[in-house]
Structure 1
């Protein structure tokens, strides 16, 4: 019997071809995998022994005149740090605690100053980013607001791009940061990724929405943000802060619904004291559930308990503007006892129908974000649609 086959040299040649092919496929697969995984908040480095990589890139929070927090997540526990300075040479370093979730507070900063920063672990983990500290009360500031965005829809990305073009100094989020349940795993694709072009330089200040509290009473939300704790309970569920000529107040409207962690009375008592002590020309309150609404969607009308409990406080304290979401549409109310109300729940989620009511100054069912500009003597609000154009606006003066 004659046995046919290949010469050893030919076998080696074909084995070499096969090996090269396997390497190419693996590298191509790794490259594709890295892109896919990155879009879901992960890195291929998860599978490389001893390698630390970013799961959530660095983002800034709680920016004041003299401090700021930098947060980020890594794929493995690490002893990462933040280097920062007023030039790209950096020059200062602050270390954080070991772990996968990192938060480092930068202090003794100068007001209204551009800072450069970079997160590191035995070398840079990411590019150098920048943020600007808050200005004094005499400054003019630009900021944005939106609500009901976090479902990773094309609309969410569309409105995020519109916000980015406006170059805001901060962003207010009016609740329902992440659908459907506010779970931690949902933040990667429904918050960090859609706003990745903003978060590294622009602080987001959110308020709790009904979807945000569905997991562990909102604990993933509290983990994701570093917010002021200037209330007796030292909770981040409601808070206030000053930025330029505006005193901002974030309230937890879910205390009237699904959030049973605190009492509504504690928030009310704090709110009255906070508004009595403010020292800025303008006051803007933001919360998720609106006290007034003409929406015909799943949550028709305004919230009666909030209308009864909080609206008298707004009126007594001469609050200038109240921003809310919850209704997936846009409505500007006629001023009610001196207070202006705007519902902006068109940040990306499916829209609700609306029919203008007797209190409506403007009402429409469309995607929208708010662009605001405040100086010591003027507060201007523009409502921006999905086409990037202004479709409604108000101007308040002192």
Structure 2
């Protein structure tokens, strides 16, 4: 075992102990006498720009207080290996809470950190949390869930067990993403239940949050207050946030699909600028509303408008995977382009001791809905608009909550979907799997000139797009209803 592998193994053991209520790392020159202040809630850590050197911190309090973070590097046993550093940020008042945002932008790649958030001057701090920065190599993994969408503390606790099962299954995962609808009615009570139920995970790893329609489609600015994210150019944060980051050899782009009727010119232009300038090997797009799914929402005008406006553009961007939510069912398409399945060669290899079929350099995009992590499930919509059922590799509702894992290992991407029987001991079973072997290098579009992302400059285009796409889709929707 080389030193790097040994360090990763020890770091993995540390993450496991932190996630599942084992003792926390010792404080470095801060005194173990610190008593966590219970008024500090909704603590989470997000990628803020560079995944190797930067993290965003967010939390909430009921009263005005300082916005400070203390952190220090730790070894695989949780012992401090650096001096404590302090970072200060800013706060704002929103809906009865004070939201605090801090950015630490001088972190070391591939390093485990322990941290607290709070008020340095008052000596009030949160519980101790941990996170690890990206080491920049081409081997990493993450977990995806979608649609917690709970409206009771019991159901938030239920969904948290699904993500905990994900970390038991893939403990080396370096972050998790949730493809929208964290809450149902977007109230303070629900957000408190969410962060309380998922506290061990939110505080001890990095989150990649995606705005769902229940997180702020009609209740403005809620999503952007919960998380500290580096907004893409032109993003106003009203209904959600779009942003992107590199991780290992992948570029991950997060859209705000609440920006619709149709998606604004500035977000569409930002998307094209963002992906066309990336030379990452793997390109992954994440959003809440799906282009392709077989749930109850797929035929609704809002989804049809988004698909009509955005899908032709997305299919020109050389994206490998699109991960979405919204429809509370499980769906994986075949490799698709222009609404048709793209024939792809396959090879079979033994990967991590398991015989695995890899699609080789697929020319299309694979669309994935990981099903809900919560309790609200939709059945398969047999009247889904063409070609959704025709291009599906799997379209189903297993009747259990689910999570998905993604492992990227150089030229290989291995995806697995699992069911979790929370009510019967949390039994985890493999439900679906898919793998890609990509031997072609990543590349940016040579000479790409940025499209305009200024909202003011795009005002008239947005108005014109509204009438164009809304009229087209309503006509198509009425025609579809009449044909049934």
Tell me the residue number matched to 2:113.
Answer: 115
Taking structure 1 as the reference length, what is the TM-score of the superposition?
0.78
Contact 2:146 2:371 in 1 (8 A): yes
Tell me the residue number matched to 2:424.
Answer: none
Tell me the residue number matched to 1:370.
Answer: 404
* Partner SS state of residue 212, structure 2: coil
Tell me the residue number matched to 1:84.
Answer: 71
Contact 1:116 1:128 in 2 (8 A): yes
Tell me the residue number matched to 1:95.
Answer: 88
Structure 1, unmatched stretches of 5+, are 1-50
Tell me the residue number matched to 1:42.
Answer: none
1:340 and 2:380 correspond? no
* Partner SS state of residue 363, structure 1: strand
Cα offset for 1:199?
A: 0.7
Cα offset for 1:224?
A: 0.1
Contact 1:80 1:98 in 2 (8 A): yes
Tell me the residue number matched to 2:290.
Answer: 290
Q: Distance in 2 between matches of 1:301 and 1:381?
A: 29
Q: Distance in 2 between matches of 1:371 and 1:362?
A: 16
Structure 2, unmatched stretches of 5+, are 1-35, 93-97, 338-363, 383-388, 421-426, 439-484
Q: Flag the 1:339–1:80 CA change in 2: closer, same or farther, 3 A.
A: closer
Q: Flag the 1:98–1:362 CA change in 2: closer, same or farther, 3 A.
A: closer
Cα offset for 1:215?
A: 4.6
Tell me the residue number matched to 1:390.
Answer: 430
Cα offset for 1:150?
A: 2.9
Instruction: Give the alignment of 1:1-398 within 5 angstroms.
Output: 53-56=38-41, 58-62=43-47, 64-79=51-66, 81-87=68-74, 88-89=79-80, 90-97=83-90, 100-121=98-119, 122-123=122-123, 125-136=125-136, 138-151=137-150, 152=153, 153=155, 155-165=158-168, 166-167=170-171, 168-180=173-185, 182-189=186-193, 191-217=194-220, 219-233=221-235, 235=237, 237-256=241-260, 264-295=264-295, 297=296, 299-300=298-299, 303-337=303-337, 338-354=364-380, 357-365=389-397, 366=399, 367-386=401-420, 387-398=427-438
Contact 2:235 2:267 in 1 (8 A): no
Q: Distance in 1 between matches of 2:403 and 2:326?
A: 14
Query: What value does the CA root-mean-square deviation take over the aligned residues?
Result: 2.5
Q: Distance in 2 between matches of 1:233 and 1:341?
A: 25
Contact 1:286 1:323 in 2 (8 A): yes
Contact 1:184 1:220 in 2 (8 A): no
Contact 2:40 2:118 in 1 (8 A): no
Contact 1:209 1:254 in 2 (8 A): yes
Q: Distance in 2 between matches of 1:128 and 1:289?
A: 35
Q: Distance in 1 between matches of 2:175 and 2:108?
A: 18
Cα offset for 1:80?
A: 5.1
Cα offset for 1:333?
A: 1.0
Question: Residue by residue, what CA displacement relative to the aligned partner does 1:46-76 show, whole Å, maximum 9, x if unpaired?
Answer: xxxxx96434153212252111122222343
Q: Which protein shows a greater Rg?
A: 1
